[in-house]
């Protein structure tokens, strides 16, 4: 994973904030989906486990998160506190950076194309509507 990203990081095409935000999506979106669509929420112990796993991943990838999360803190007491800090940071990052842009539209269109490549052509417009139904409003706006 580090090798794959190293060239992009060296060229400045991927920042530490980009890496941390992507990690936050993998960490928080499953929890959000479970909360929205399943019969029960994650327990605090399960959130702690999720946070512990993703903190280990961030450490292994050398993601600089310490300076971006709760200022003046030297660490977290557990994975739950880490999960909460990253989720809070990600919400602020989205408010600041998830804005309408042609580049976001291009990324969204390419991602949708990947998701729908096995869907028959006649059904793709309907499948695209299904994708947009589960998108949050801020994401929809940012992808124009």
pLDDT in tens, 25-66: 999 999 999 999 999 999 999 999 999 999 999 999 988 776
Q: Are residues 89 and 29 in the same domain?
A: yes
pLDDT tens-digit series, residues 100-117? 999 888 988 898 899 999
For the chain, what is the domain count?
A: 2
Alpha helices in 38-123 (DSSP H): 44-61, 79-97, 102-116
Q: Are residues 116 and 137 in the same domain?
A: yes
Q: Are residues 81 and 116 in the same domain?
A: no
Taking CA atoms, 7 is separated from 12, 33, 61, in Å, by: 9, 33, 14
Q: Are residues 50 and 109 in the same domain?
A: no
Q: Are residues 19 and 80 in the same domain?
A: yes
Q: Are residues 122 and 70 in the same domain?
A: no
Exposure pattern of 14-24 as b/e (b: 16+ CB <10 Å)?
eeebbbbbebb
pTM above 0.85, yes or no: no
Range of the domain at 57: 2-97
Rounded Cα distance, 65 and 21, in Å: 10
Q: Are residues 37 and 83 in the same domain?
A: yes
Q: Are residues 86 and 109 in the same domain?
A: no
């Amino acid at each position: 994973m580090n090798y794959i990203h190293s060239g992009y990081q060296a060229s400045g095409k991927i920042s530490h904030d980009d890496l941390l935000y992507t990690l936050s999506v993998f960490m928080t979106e499953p929890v959000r989906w479970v909360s929205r669509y399943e019969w029960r929420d994650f327990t605090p112990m399960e959130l702690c486990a999720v946070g512990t796993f993703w903190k280990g991943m961030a450490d292994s990838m050398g993601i600089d998160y310490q300076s971006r999360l709760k200022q003046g803190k030297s660490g977290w007491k557990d994975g739950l506190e880490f999960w909460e800090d990253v989720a809070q940071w990600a919400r602020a990052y989205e408010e600041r950076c998830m804005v309408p842009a042609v580049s976001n539209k291009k990324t969204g269109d390419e991602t949708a194309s990947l998701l729908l490549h096995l869907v028959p052509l006649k059904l793709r417009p309907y499948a695209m509507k299904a994708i947009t139904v589960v998108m949050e409003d801020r994401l929809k706006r940012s992808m124009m």
